[in-house]
Amino acid sequence: MEQAAFTGHQPVNNINVYYEFYPHQTSKKTFVLLHGFLSSTFTFRHLISLLKQDYQVLSVDLPPFGKSGKCNQYVYSYKNLAQTVIQLTKSLGLKKMTFIGHSMGGQIVLNILHMMPDIADKAILLCSSAYLKRSKLPLILTSYLPYFHRFVKYYFARTGVRKNLQDALYNHSIINEEMINGYLQPFLQDEIFIALTRMIRDREGDLPGKLLQQIKTPCLLIWGDHDKSMPLKVGEQLHKDLANSELIVLKETGHAVPEERPFEVFEYIKNFLESYQTAVE
């Protein structure tokens, strides 16, 4: 039975992390949801409404996004973000977890699985970031210039939320004011751009193939065939490098699969859990 949600901030790893926790009276299975770059737990709102009916759900705003802290002293590396999520799940006493990561959140999930192979029984990667290199040295050095965060803000202001959504979605007709405002809200204050400047320096790049090949956790990969951010060929290579993985391709779908195809994603997740459970038995 579904219970009331808990939302709030938890001081973890020297930063305040915002989370939404949806307990379930009879389910011991917990899904941990990690969003992508420039996003927040908002991106999972449709999927959460489906998952929480049968499972416990924890959705996290990865620093510095959403309502989480934007401290300039925090190290915004993938490794440290992964450690932060691990510490948050421990502080909440969660066990028997399945991680769901979209885009950059998928790369954080992969880091978690690499660091702590036993923390999750399964993982779902939605158009996961993979094989991206660290920022080039000239950009890293430039980020130390005074007020560089203003250039970062100007860049995002020029592209705009609507343009970013159009790039991420195949079906532009679903873009509405609620969606635009939901993605815009975290970027109305300057602190986010200062933190993003720090992230340019801290981000170490995605896990290389040799480390991905060491991950044995069963992984379901769900990809859009019209993904411009992480083209399908990235998913196909990730499927090859992850020894225990399955790849599902959604037709006429872009990068933002939790927005475009939440019902299909939910059904594939359920089937993945059931087929894996049957195989184990």
Supply 116's token pair. 């702590």
* Residue 103 annotated among the catalytic residues of the structure: yes
Best CA proximity match to 230, nearest among 214, 210, 206, 211:
206
Can you spell out the DSSP letters for the chain?
-B---EEEEEEETTEEEEEEEE-BSS---EEEEE--TT--GGGGHHHHHHHTTTSEEEEE--TTSTTS---TTS---HHHHHHHHHHHHHHTT--SEEEEEETHHHHHHHHHHHH-TTSEEEEEEES---SPPPPPHHHHHHTTSTTHHHHHHHHHHHH-HHHHHHHH-S-GGG--HHHHHHHHGGGSSTHHHHHHHHHHHH---PPPHHHHTT--S-EEEEEETT-SSS-HHHHHHHHHHSTTEEEEEETT--S-HHHH-HHHHHHHHHHHHHHHHHHH-
Neighbours of 8 (CB within 10 A): 11
Q: Which of 59, 68, 103, 129 is catalytic?
A: 103
Identify residue 22 by its one-letter amino acid code: Y
Strands 6-12 and 245-250: unpaired
* Residue 229 annotated among the catalytic residues of the structure: no
Q: At a CB cut-off of 8 Å and minimum separation 6, what does 216 contact?
A: 117, 243, 244
Residues annotated catalytic, as ranges:
103, 255
